[in-house]
Structure formats: structure tokens, C-alpha cells
Amino acid sequence: MLTAFARAFRTPDLRKKLLFTLAIIALFRFGSLLPTPGVDYDAVRQCTTSVDDDAGIYGMVNLFSGGALLQLSVFALGIMPYITASIIVQLLTVVIPRFEALKKEGQSGTAKLTQYTRYLTVALAVLQSTALLALARTPGRIFQNCAADLVPDDSLFRILTMIFTMTAGTGLIMWLGELITDRGVGNGMSLLIFTSICAGFPNGLWNVKAARGWDAFIVMIVVGLVVVAAVVLFEQAQRRIPVQYAKRMVGRRMYGGTSTYIPIKVNQAGVIPVIFASSLLYLPQLVAQLGDTTAGWRQWIERYISRGDHPLYVLMFVALIIFFTFFYVAITFNPKEISDNMKRYGGFIPGIRAGRPTEEYLDYVLSRITLPGSIYLSVVAIIPILALGLFSANQNFPFGGTSVLIMVGVGLETLKQVESQLQQRNYEGFLR
């Protein structure tokens, strides 16, 4: 593998792409540490060092921003507005006929949907930055045990400047991600998320060592390697449904007669169900934080839902992940559309008639393979909850949940892209 890295950097055009990608990642990390104008950085550092960095209900956004959210930096919102906008637009393609038609138009339709995603990202960035600053103006809202004044000057001009800065930071992140996709290596947005998660990795490991010592640290490393190996195995696992294309004459040429397959992954939904379930469980906590402290409903939410290690929270989390796995697979994988396309081009599954029987067979296989995939996602997602008690780690435990799914998935996809470019030049790739 080290030899493959050396060959990658010895190839001029590939070396240029890799260095460009690394430069964009460095710029992204610099913006994550650059404080927003108007924020008392000393007060922010005081609060972040004195408060547990699991961040409560802000943990997910703080994870995707590489810790920039709690530092109120220029890139405080991170890539989260773009992720939310992308998910919303993808779901709307099923509901709105206009979006569905654009999706079927090919490259021009995809470009239009991308434009809508950008507009929605900016709108969400304005909304989220306004809400974040509204919380930051009240001591104790973001950091419950810290009463420092994070925004000393709360004049209208200063607040508008901060909102504009954070929104512009989100727009800049979106542009940097597209630059990596066009001129670098791998998917830009995915690599920026990967970078944000990896940025918090050393701190998470050091917290375990400081709390439990070297023995627990070594055990956690071993457990982490086993978890990563299991995630790689499940992420690569797929059911290949064979497809045979009949021979047909078009003019004087013979087409068809080839064999291929339809790959159905065990984890067809990726990390989306975990994000959906986490976001849905964060909503009651956010509403409770804004409500009356003496209200009975708020005390019930804080007792049962705000505690990540409570059995009721774990059961709700697992149930939502399983539900959203089936829901997301159902809207992204259409057996009827695949069956119609196969029938149109003379393809069929051996032993299965074309048309409706093929559609029913694909739906049968998809439902059977989605169940173990949803259970696998649930097990990986609750690993941080188990680590909370075993290793005194925070909710952003590096070897579990959303973090390990994204790191492994993005890492594998990026290596495959570099490998494909190396193989074009008759070199051995990373994956043998």
C-alpha cells in the first residue's frame, strides 16, 4: 500500500490532484478555527474546556463541523446545511412531479436540482446561524454549566454581520467541496465531512486515556479495529442478482447476449437513517430547552429522552433507524422502474419472467436484505452509548455511530477512485 502511495505521488497529474485536495482540506480546517467577528473567543475557550464536549443536542452538528460549532467559528455550521438541503431535495423528488421529471432528464436535470440544493443550503444557513446566535446571546444555553457571555456586543449590526459571516462560511464550504469534486480526488462534500470527523478523533481518544488510563485505551483501540473491520465487511457486502440480455438485431449489427448483475448492498441506505433518527430525537430536546423548566413535559423529556443511555431512548433510537432504513431504501430503489428498464432493453433475470414477476422478485430480495442492513446500522449506532459507560467516552465516540460509518465509507470510495486512476496507468492499486 505504501508503494501505491509513492506511485500515486510520482504520477504528475494525480500528484497535482492529491496536493490540491490536501490544500483545500487545510483551508477548510483553518476556517473551522477562525473565530467569527463579534464572538468573545476567550469566553468560548473557557466554556469548551470546562464543559463536557459531547455538546448535548448539538453533538451531531458539532461532529460534522469538526468542533467548529461550539467555537462559533466562521465555519461553525459546517456542511450540515448542505446535507439537510440535499436530503430534502432528494425526498421531494418523490413528492413533487417537477423534481421527478428533472431527475429523469439526465445531466441538465441534475444540474437544476443541484442549483435548487444550493439555494436551499443558503436559506437553511441563514436560519441555523440566526438560531445559534440567539442561543449564544443567552449565557448557559449552549454550554449548560458555563455562564460566560459569548457575544458581548448584541447590537443589530453586529448580529447581522455574524449571520452573514456564518452563512458565507457555509457557501464557501459548499464551493470548496465542489472544487475537490471537479479538480481533486474523491467526492468533495464527503471528504470535508471525513476531515471534520477525523479532526475530533485525537481528542476523543485522549479523553478515554485521561478518564480510564492506558489499559482502557488499549482495549478501546482493539475494539475499534474490530468495529472498523466489521463495518468494512458490511459496507462491501452485496447481493448480486444476475441479469441476462437477449440477442437482438439492429440493422446489420447484433446487440445483447451479455450477462451482468444488479448489485444490492446490505447497507443500501448508507448513513442517512442514523442522521434522520438522531435529528428526530434531537427535536424534543431542543423544544424542551426553550420551554419552562418547571413544566412536567420538559422534565419527562429530560429524564427519558435527553439521557442517551436510558433504555427508552435506545429503543426509540433503534426503532427509528430500522424505520428510516426501510423508508429511505423504498424511495431510492424502485423495483418497478428497474424492471421496466430491463424489459425495454431485453433483459431478464434467469428463471423469472419479465415485467411484474421481476418487480415482485426484486422487491422480495430488497426487503429481505434491508432487514439485516437496518440491524447492522442500529448496532453500530448504539456503540457510542455503550462506550459512554464502558470507557467514559462522550457521545462522539470515534469508533462508533455516524463517525465510523462515514469514515469507512468515504475512505473506501476515495481509495477506489485513486486505484482506478492508478490502474489506468498499469500500476497496482491500494486494494488488492
Q: Any bridge partners for residue 265, and if so which?
A: 238
> What is the pLDDT, as a whole number, of residue 419?
79
Q: How confident is the model at residue 237 (pLDDT cuts 50, 70, 90)?
A: confident
Neighbours of 399 (CB within 10 A): 25
Degrees, nearest 5: CA angle 410-237-276? 55
Most confident of 89-93, 145-149, 365-369: 365-369
> What is the pLDDT, as a whole number, of residue 58?
55
Q: What is the pLDDT of residues 91-135, one digit of tens each?
A: 788 788 888 888 877 788 888 888 899 999 999 889 888 887 877
- Contacts of residue 390, defined as CB under 8 A and 6 or more positions apart, other chains included, come to 216
Overall average pLDDT of the 266-295 stretch: 74
> Is the Cβ–Cβ distance between 90 and 219 less than 8 Å?
no
> Is the Cβ–Cβ distance between 36 and 72 less than 8 Å?
yes
Q: How would DSSP label each residue in 127-185?
A: HHHHHHHHHHTSTTSSSTT----S-S---HHHHHHHHHHHHHHHHHHHHHHHHHHHHSS
Report d(CA 365, CA 367) in Å as an integer: 6
Rg of the chain (C-alpha set): 24
> Is the Cβ–Cβ distance between 329 and 268 less than 8 Å?
yes
Between residues 255 and 235, the one the model is more confident about: 235
φ/ψ of 242, rounded to 5, equals -70, 140
> What is the pLDDT, as a whole number, of residue 34?
82
* Percentage of residues in the chain having pLDDT higher than 90: 3
φ/ψ of 259, rounded to 5, equals -120, 135
- Contacts of residue 60, defined as CB under 8 A and 6 or more positions apart, other chains included, come to 80, 275, 278, 279, 282, 402
Report strand pairing: 347-348 vs 259-265: unpaired
Instruction: Tell me: pLDDT of 213 over 70.
Output: yes
Q: How confident is the model at residue 428 (pLDDT cuts 50, 70, 90)?
A: low
Cell numbers describing residue 75: 465555519
Instruction: Tell me: pLDDT of 286 over 70.
Output: no
> What is the pLDDT, as a whole number, of residue 48?
62
* Range name among 91-100, 146-155, 255-264 with the lowest pLDDT average: 146-155
Residue-range domains of the chain with CATH:
1-199 (1.10.3370.10), 202-399 (1.10.3370.10)
Instruction: Tell me: pLDDT of 249 over 70.
Output: no
Instruction: Tell me: pLDDT of 300 over 80.
Output: no
> What is the pLDDT, as a whole number, of residue 324?
87
Report d(CA 279, CA 297) in Å as an integer: 20
Chain-centroid distance, C-alpha 295: 35
Cell numbers describing residue 413: 470510495
> Is the Cβ–Cβ distance between 275 and 60 less than 8 Å?
yes
Mean predicted lDDT score pLDDT of the chain: 78
Q: What is the pLDDT of residues 34-72, one digit of tens each?
A: 878 877 777 777 666 654 444 445 555 566 555 556 667
Report d(CA 139, CA 155) in Å as an integer: 16
Chain-centroid distance, C-alpha 12: 32
Q: How confident is the model at residue 281 (pLDDT cuts 50, 70, 90)?
A: confident
Q: How confident is the model at residue 204 (pLDDT cuts 50, 70, 90)?
A: confident
Residue type, 242: P
> What is the pLDDT, as a whole number, of residue 223?
79
Instruction: Tell me: pLDDT of 231 over 50.
Output: yes
Residue type, 37: P
> Is the Cβ–Cβ distance between 67 and 59 less than 8 Å?
no
Instruction: Tell me: pLDDT of 334 over 80.
Output: yes
Residue 254 parent element (H or E): strand 253-255
> What is the pLDDT, as a whole number, of residue 53?
45
Overall average pLDDT of the 316-331 stretch: 87
Cell numbers describing residue 8: 500515486
> What is the pLDDT, as a whole number, of residue 139?
58
- Contacts of residue 93, defined as CB under 8 A and 6 or more positions apart, other chains included, come to 99, 100, 102, 103, 113
Nearest to 36 by CA among 171, 199, 164: 164
- Contacts of residue 221, defined as CB under 8 A and 6 or more positions apart, other chains included, come to 205
Q: What is the pLDDT of residues 7-38, one digit of tens each?
A: 777 777 888 888 898 999 888 888 888 878 87
Q: How confident is the model at residue 73 (pLDDT cuts 50, 70, 90)?
A: confident
